[in-house]
Amino acid sequence: MSRESAVDESFASRVAFITGAGRGQGRSHALRLAELGADVALVDLGSVGSVSSPTYATATRDELNSVADEVRGLGRRALVVEADVRSAEQMVDAAASAVRELGQIDYVVANAGITDGFAPTWELAPENWQTMIDINLTGVFHTVRAAIPHLLVEPAGRGLVLIGSGVAIKAVPNLSHYVAAKYGVRGLAAALAAELGPYGIRCNSVHPAGINTEMTTAMVELNGIPREELLERFRSGQLLQMNVEISDITAAVVWLLSDEARFVTGVELTVDAGESKK
Ligand SMILES: NC(=O)c1ccc[n+]([C@@H]2O[C@H](COP(=O)([O-])OP(=O)(O)OC[C@H]3O[C@@H](n4cnc5c(N)ncnc54)[C@H](O)[C@@H]3O)[C@@H](O)[C@H]2O)c1
């Protein structure tokens, strides 16, 4: 059996529930999983809410619908779910609609997140701290809390990947609410691996370096730093002097969900070009 076919067989007739799927890394994970045979529930904020503190442009309904069209173009089913990860109720409804429309949930990719402007901790506005924790940490809790009961119905081969950050392994200054939230995600993934192991369900976290996505656009706008300077800062903090790309994170997520990684759980997988080792 070729390596490629081993991965293929993991995903046929499976359903992935992906938050932050309207663009960027979430979109990429959805498209790759669809290419490999999975149907996908695409969860993003769309038109059901907005982010203030900081003012933040999230994926639109049109962007979400266009990812769904791309998935359908690959011959797979796509369900668009506009939901705010800050709402426990909306996430319970999102998971229920995924099961109703697509039959089951096999995989969870908790990927939705925001960033913020750089500031020392003692100058951070409490409302910016709160928004960050609500989306980047509590939002992940709401996601897994809503989805896991559906995974437990038939746990064999099910898996979760929580998206952290390189800064959850090696902290950076002036973004402490983001760092704290992502350290929390790392802890949540470890706790879930311990809780779900007895059921045969795996949970891992992936920790990307800085990548050129709309999150970088937000960093450019919030901090007034030119994009190329930001990308150069990412590179200079790494052992490998090239910017990590979205597809590199997708490859890690897909492998962790695949049956090839069937004995891999509780792992904190850095895809950070050596950032955390420098
Ligand atoms: N881009 C980077 O440099 C980088 C580095 C390390 C980790 N990450 C993490 O990767 C993940 C994906 O980020 P990305 O780079 O693709 O950025 P992105 O901004 O393109 O994608 C994030 C998605 O999350 C959605 N989202 C935000 N708030 C939401 C909410 N309340 N409810 C539902 N959806 C919401 C956005 O609409 C967007 O589609 C995030 O968790 C981010 O923290 C990014």
d(CA 90, CA 98): 12
- Residue 1: what pLDDT? 41
| Three-state secondary structure readout of 109-138 | EECCCCCCCCCCHHHCCHHHHHHHHHHHHH
Q: Is the CB of 23 under 6 A from ligand 1?
A: yes
Instruction: Please choose from 17, 23, 25, 61 the residue to mutate so as to test ligand 1's pocket, defined by most ligand atoms within 8 A of CB.
Output: 25
**112 Cα: distance to centroid of ligand 1 (angstroms):** 5
Within 8 A by CB and 6+ apart from 53, the residues are 125, 127, 128, 130, 131
- For residue 215, the CA-to-ligand 1 centroid distance in Å is 6
Q: Is 158 in the pocket of ligand 1 (CB under 6 A)?
A: no
Report CA(19)–ligand 1 centroid distance (Å): 9
Q: Residue 200: which region, alpha, beta or left (left: phi > 0; alpha: psi -120 to 50)?
A: left
Four-residue CA torsion sign, 81, 86, 90, 94: positive
Backbone angles phi, psi at 125, to 5 degrees: -70, 135
Distance from C-alpha of 70 to C-alpha of 15, rounded to nearest angstrom = 16
177-194 pLDDT, tens per residue?
999 999 999 999 999 999
Concerning whether 178 is annotated as a catalytic residue, the answer is yes
CATH superfamily of 3-277: NAD(P)-binding Rossmann-like Domain (3.40.50.720)
Is the distance from CB of 142 to CB of 91 less than 8 angstroms? yes
Cα separation, 19 vs 85, whole angstroms:
8
- Determine if ligand 1 sits within 6 Å of the CB of residue 219: no
> How many angstroms separate the Cα of 227 from the Cα of each of 49, 53, 58, 117, 223?
27, 22, 19, 14, 10
Q: How far is the CA of 111 from the centre of ligand 1 (A)?
A: 6
Planar angle of CA 137, 32, 182, nearest 5 degrees? 15
* pLDDT beneath 70: ranges in the chain: 1-9
**Domain segments of the chain as ranges:** 3-277
Give backbone dihedrals phi and psi of 108, rounded to 5 degrees, phi first.
-125, 130
Residues in Cβ contact with 196 at an 8 Å cutoff, skipping those fewer than 6 apart: 148, 155, 160, 202, 203, 265
Return the amino acid letter for 31: L
pLDDT tens profile 118-167:
999 999 999 999 999 999 999 999 999 999 999 999 999 999 999 999 99
d(Cα 115, Cα 92) in Å, to the nearest integer? 25
Ligand 1 contact via 22 beta carbon (within 6 Å)? yes
Residue 207 beta carbon below 6 angstroms from any ligand 1 atom: no
Ligand 1, atom 20: closest residue by C-alpha: 24
Mutation to probe ligand 1, out of 17, 42, 63, 215 (largest number of atoms < 8 A from CB): 215
Cα(240) to centroid(ligand 1), Å: 24
Protein residue whose Cα sits closest to atom 40 of ligand 1: 113
Tell me which residue has tokens 């969900």. Answer: 257
